[in-house]
Structure 1
Amino acid sequence: MPWKEFNTVDLRFQFVLDSFQNGVNFTQLCAQYGISTKCGYKWKERFLREGKEGLLDRKKTPKNSPAKIAEETILEIIKIKNNRKFWGAKKILELYKKQFPDRKAPNRSTIERILKKAGLQDTKRKRRPTNSGQRISMPEKATIPNHVWTVDFKGWWYTPEREKVNPLTVRDDYSKYILSIKTLKKGDIASVKAEFTRLFSIYGLPDVIRSDNGPPFASMQSLWGLTKLSVWWLSLGIKLDRIQPGKPYQNGSHERMHRDMARELQHEIVGNITLFQKLFDKWRIDFNRN
C-alpha cells in the first residue's frame, strides 16, 4: 500500500490534531514533525482562532509599510530633480518640504534611493586620500652637491613621425647640473628605475629626491602615496620630498629648466626618438657648461 501524500497544510493540521491527544509530550511531538516548540504553539493557536484556514502561509509583506512612499511623492521628487539637475538629495528634500508642508516628507536616504532607481543619481567623485598630498618630510634646501635631486617628466612632445616623447629629467638642486634627460619608451616604474640605477652608479646616492605627486613617483591610491619606485628609494636610505598638488613653484628651479628646454628645442624637433635623444644630450651638455 503506497504512502499517503500530504501537503504542508495537511501536515500542520495532522500535527494540531495529534497535539490534542491525551498524554502527548508536546516537545517530542514538535521534534517528530521537525519544527520548534515555538512554531508548534503558533500553528496550534492559529488553528484555535481561525480553524484550518489559519494553517495557510501568510504573506510576509506588512499590510501597512511605514517605508512605502506614495506614488505622487515619487513623481514630485523626480520632477524637482529634472528641474534642478545639479541638486542632490539634501536640497531636493528641503524644497519638497517647502512645496508640500502638509505632507510627510521622506527622509534623505529614501530620496537618494528613488533617484538611483530612476537613473538620476549623480555619481560621487572619488576623493583623494587625505595623506596623498602631504609632504613626507619637510622640504630641505640643498647645501652641497648630491644633497637634493629633483625629478620630473617634461611633458608630451611629438616628433614629425607622430611618436610621443615625454623625457624624464633629473637634476642636482644645488649645482643645477642636469644629470639626465632621457627619452623613455615607457614612463613606467621599471623604465624610470633603470635610469636611476644608471645615475646612482655614476653619481652616487642623493640624500633627498624631490618630485611631484604623479606616477610613477607617487600614487593617490596607496598609503602615503608610495609606489614601488618610491619604496625602492626609501630602502636605499633616500628621503622623499613630494611637492603639494597644484604647487609647481615648490619645484620651481626644475620647472624653469623645462621652460628653457621648450623655448630652445621646440623648433628643432626633427626625426625620430633616437635623434631626439641626441638633441637632448647635446642641449644638456651645453646647458651644464653655462
Structure 2
Amino acid sequence: MPWKATTTMEQKIEFICEWRTGKYTITELCRSFDISRPTAYKLIHRFENQGCEGLREQSRAPSKHPNATGENIVKSIIKLKTKHKFWGAKKIRVLLFKEYPKEIVPSVVTVHNILKKNGLVCPQKRLRRVKPVFPIFDPKSCNEVWSAHYKGKFLMGNKIYCHPLTIADSKSRFLFTAKGHYKENLKSVKAEFTKVFRKYGIPKQIHTDNGSPFGSVRAIQRYTQLSYWFIELGITPVFSDPAHPEQNGRHERMHRDLKAACAKPSAYDLKAQQRRLNRFVKEYNHVRPHEALDMKTPAEAHNFSTRPFPETIQHFDYNHNYKVIKVTQNGAIRWRSYYWVYLTIALKGKYVGVEELGNGIWKVFYRNVFLGFFNERELINKESNIRLETNLV
C-alpha cells in the first residue's frame, strides 16, 4: 500500500492539532515537521486570530504600492466611463489631463486595467483580418471634401421609422448635423443642406453613396436633381463605387458611434430622438477626442469655409463655340428639329451646352461639368431617338 501524499494545508492543520494537545514543545514540533521556529509561531498566531482560514497560503503581493494610481483618479476614470460608456481607455485618458497634472495621469494600459478590474470593459468580437482599403477621397484640408449619408433607418418607440441624415467634413471629422427625417427625399435633404451651408459655408466637393436622393447608378454620371443643385452652387458631387461603403469609411465609422448612442434603444418619437441626435453631435464635436486627429476634438481641428452660400443661383454663360439647348419636360434635347437625345428628367427646364468634336461626335455639358457624348451620324442613320453615352465606343 503506497504512502499517502499530504498537502501543505493538511500538514499545517496537523501541526496545529499536535500543538493544541500540549504534549509537545515548540522545539519538538519544529523538528518533527521540519520547519523553523518563526514559521511555527506565525502559524499559531494566524490560527488564533483567523482560525483555519488563516492557515491558507497568503498573497505575497504588497498591500500598498508606492506608484499605485490615486483613489481620486480611479474614481474619475470610473465616472468618465459611466458617462461615456462606449469610449475606450485612450479617449478617457485624454479627458483626465483636463482635471489632473500631466505627471500623475496614468498610462493608457493602466486606465484600461482599472476599467477591466471594475468590470467596465466589454469583450469585443475578434474581427477577421482583411486587406486594408485605402480611401479614394483623402482631403488635405478642411472643406475640401464633405461627406453626407443617411444612416440606416431604425424604429422609434411609436413604431415609426427615423432616417438620420448626417453631414460631416472629411478632413476634420466635424459633424455639421445629424437630422432625423421621416423619409429620405430631396425636399428634406435640400432644406438641411441649405441650413448647414448658410452657417458653415460650402465645400469644394461632396462625397456620398449612390442611394437616393444623392446618386443613381442608372443616371448620367450618377447625377440626380440634388447633384445638379450642388453643381449650380459650385460644388462637385463625387460618389463611392457601388457596393463599396469602405471608400467612405470614416463617415461609416461615425455612424457606428451614432447608432450605439442614439438608436440602442431609440427614443419614443422624432422630437425626442432629435434631442438625442443633437447631444451626440455636441459630444462628438467638442468632447470626444479623435485618434486620427492626434486625440484632438473635431471642433479643434475644423476651420470654417471661406466660400459663402449663394442665396440665388448665378447665371452661367457657356463658351461661344457651344450650342446652348434647353432640356424639355421629358428630359431630352431636340436635335436638328427631327430627333431627340435623351439626357435626364433631373435637368428639365435647364440649359446644356453642346460642343462638336468632329466626325459627328458631340460632347454635352451642364455648366462646367461634362455629362456625356452622342453620335449625330448614328442618330440620323437610325432615324430614332438615342440616349446620351458617357463613353465613346
Give me the TM-score of the superposition, normalised by structure 1: 0.51
Q: Distance in 2 between matches of 1:268 and 1:185?
A: 18
**Residue 282 of structure 1: aligned partner:** 279
Name the structure with the higher strand share.
2
Residue equivalent to 2:227: 230
**How much has 1:140 moved relative to structure 2?**
4.0
Q: Which residue of 2 aligns with 1:241?
A: 238
Do residues 146 (structure 1) and 143 (structure 2) align?
yes
Of 244, 247, 250, the residue aligned with 1:250 is 247
CA deviation vs aligned residue, 1:190-224 (integer Å, no higher than 9, x gap): 11011111111001010110000110011233211
Q: Distance in 1 between matches of 2:270 and 2:180?
A: 7
Letter in 2 for 1:166: H
Instruction: Quote how far apart the aligned CAs of 1:145 are.
Output: 1.6
Q: Tell me, in whole angstroms, the C-alpha distance in 2 between the residues paired with 1:218 and 1:253.
A: 19
Inter-partner Cα distance in structure 1 for 2:160 and 2:247: 31
Q: Distance in 1 between matches of 2:145 and 2:257?
A: 21
Distance 2:184 2:253 in 1: 21
Structure showing the higher helix proportion among its residues:
1
Amino acid of the residue matched to residue 210 of structure 2?
Answer: N
Following the alignment from structure 2 to structure 1, what is the Cα–Cα distance between the partners of residues 160 and 258? 18
Q: Take 2:245 and 2:274, find their aligned partners in 1: how far apart are those partners?
A: 26
Q: Which residue of 2 aligns with 1:259?
A: 256
**How far, CA to CA, are the matches of 2:258 and 2:196 in structure 1?**
21
Q: Using CA pairs below 8 Å that are at least 6 residues apart, which structure has the higher relative contact order? A: 1
Q: Please state how far the C-alpha of 1:139 moved relative to its aligned partner.
A: 4.5
Moved over 4 A (4+): none
Determine the C-alpha separation between the residues in 1 that align with 2:194 and 2:184.
15
Letter of the 2:214 counterpart:
F
Q: Secondary structure at the match of 1:167?
A: strand
The secondary structure found in structure 1 opposite 2:214 is coil
What are the ranges of 5 or more consecutive residues in structure 1 without an aligned counterpart? 1-137
Aligned residues: 153
Percent identity of equivalent pairs: 33
Whole-Å separation in 2 of the counterparts to 1:228 and 1:258: 25
Partner SS state of residue 181, structure 2: coil
Alpha-carbon separation, structure 1, partners of 2:136 and 2:237: 9
Asked if the contact 1:168/1:183 (under 8 Å) is kept, the reply is: yes
Give 5+ residue unaligned stretches, structure 2. 1-134, 289-393
> Quick check: 1:178–1:284 contact (8 Å CA) kept in 2?
yes
Range that drifts further, 217-226 or 163-172: 217-226
Residue of structure 1 in register with 2:65 after alignment: none
Q: In 2, distance between residues paired with 1:256 and 1:242?
A: 17
The alignment's C-alpha RMSD in Å is: 1.5
- 2:190 is the alignment partner of 1:193: yes
Q: TM-score of the superposition, structure 2-length normalised?
A: 0.38
Q: Which letter maps to 2:220?
A: L
Name the amino acid aligned to 1:229: L
Q: 2:262·2:273 contact (CA, 8 Å) conserved in 1?
A: no
What letter matches 2:175 in structure 1? I
Within 2, Cα distance between the matches of 1:163 and 1:212?
24
In the alignment, which residue of structure 1 is the partner of 2:161? 164
Partner residue, 2:181 = 184
Q: Which one of the candidate residues 216, 240, 256 is aligned to 1:219? A: 216
Give 3-state SS (helix, strand or coil) of 2:237's partner. Answer: strand
C-alpha separation in 2, matches of 1:194 and 1:205: 14
For the 8 Å contact 1:139–1:241, the answer to whether it is kept is: no
